[in-house]
Amino acid sequence: MEPTFPLLRLIENIIIEVIKNFPLTQLFEFSLVSTKTKKLVSALELKPKVFDIIISHSIRVNVSNERSDLNLYFYKDLNDQNVLLPVDITLPVAAYVGYEDTRILASPPYNFSDWLNHIQSVFCCNQSPKVFFCQGCEKFGIESLKGTIGNINTLIPIDVLTDESIRKVLKCFNVPSKLHLGRNPFEEACQIQQIFIRNYKRIVFHGVYSLDDMLLINSESVEFHHRPTQKQCNRFLKHWIRGSNPRLKYIELAIDDPNSVSREMLLKGIHCVDVAGEERLEICRKLLVDKFILNKFQTLSYHMVQIRRNDWTPAVIATETYENNILHICVFAVH
């Protein structure tokens, strides 16, 4: 027989000290024991750094912090025959924990929305989730998912989705903070421009784009993976210096020119001053962009020049050459 221990009869701060030792999976299971245990887990105010929802043929919710992570799977038990049939996500559903396929049922039974609310509530997820839409997500109904998940922080409709599905996802979840788009799912050029003019905090785009598209960008941070020409890049920089893309604080591009790329060509006609040593570190410290970007410039050997936009905003263009024909360019405004 299992030994018993009257944990819940101990003083609350002792129980909290006990459960601080639990990994996230165990905390989640503990939170389902009773209303009291749910409150105790919430009292830890974990605020996990990662809160992802990955929607494919099943749905996975990933929550993780520095110490551990929790992976909950839903609709995992659909067999191959009904894997493509539409799923009503308002109905109660079991959750499976981790890779061990441990089935969890809540009492009273939870539907997907209840599970999400429970996760957000016990782990104090004050940030909206990052949501990945993968192959098979359509069977849950994009509108239903929107209704259940609500606001999201980062939207990632991955490449394997059909253009139609990507368009539907973009239409339903139209105001995320960050957007990762693998390709242009639209037929008309003006349609992708409608995406570019939205004021995301960050946009990552792998598709083809023109200079006009670049000039419409209204996000703070941009990462374009398709490689523009040196001329396109030079012209964009000149426009930006004159005042285009006023919200833009950071853009990352790579030029891939078989006729060899050069920093001089990129900066042709742009008044700039070399930045080195202490000054360079100081600029890095002043950056108002993501921390990982700051680390990147401190560790890699980027060549930096300082420019000044016409509105007197100082900015830096950092470049690094790979194998003589790829020029990695990062431009950021310094405040």
Q: Which residues bind another protein (CB under 8 A)?
A: 2-8, 10-11, 13-14, 17-22, 26, 29-30, 32-34, 97, 102, 104
Give least dist CB 108 to another protein, A.
Answer: 12
20: phi then psi, degrees, rounded to nearest 5 = -65, -20
Cα 216 from chain centroid?
22
Pick 4 or 299: Cβ nearer another protein: 4
To the nearest whole angstrom, how small is the minimum distance from the Cβ of residue 8 to another protein?
6
CB nearer to another protein: give 93 or 237.
93
Structure tokens at 142: 């994009």
Q: How far is the CB of 115 from another protein (least distance, A)?
A: 13
Contact 333, 308 (CB under 8 A): no
How distant, in Å, are the alpha carbons of 7, 118, 125, 259 from that of 40?
A: 12, 13, 15, 64
Distance in angstroms (rounded) separating the CA atoms of residues 64 and 109: 25
Nearer to another protein, 23 or 86 (CB): 23
Which one, 6 or 269, has the nearer CB to another protein? 6
Angle at 71 between CA 67 and CA 74, to 5 degrees: 165
Kindly state the smallest distance separating residue 48's Cβ from another protein, in Å: 19
* Distance between CA atoms of residues 27 and 18, nearest Å: 11
Helix or strand or coil: residue 131? strand
- 188 — alpha (psi -120 to 50), left (phi > 0) or beta? beta
Q: CA 301: distance to chain centroid?
A: 27
Q: Measured from the CB of residue 39, what is the shortest distance to another protein in angstroms?
A: 15
Q: How far is the CB of 142 from another protein (least distance, A)?
A: 32
Nearer to another protein, 19 or 204 (CB): 19
Bridge partners of 74, per DSSP, are 59, 95
Quick one: 10 or 281, whose CB is closer to another protein? 10
Within 10 Å of residue 295's Cβ, how many Cβ atoms?
Answer: 11
Q: How far is the CB of 72 from another protein (least distance, A)?
A: 13
- 73-91 burial, b for 16+ CB within 10 Å, e for fewer? bbbbeeeeeeeeeebebee
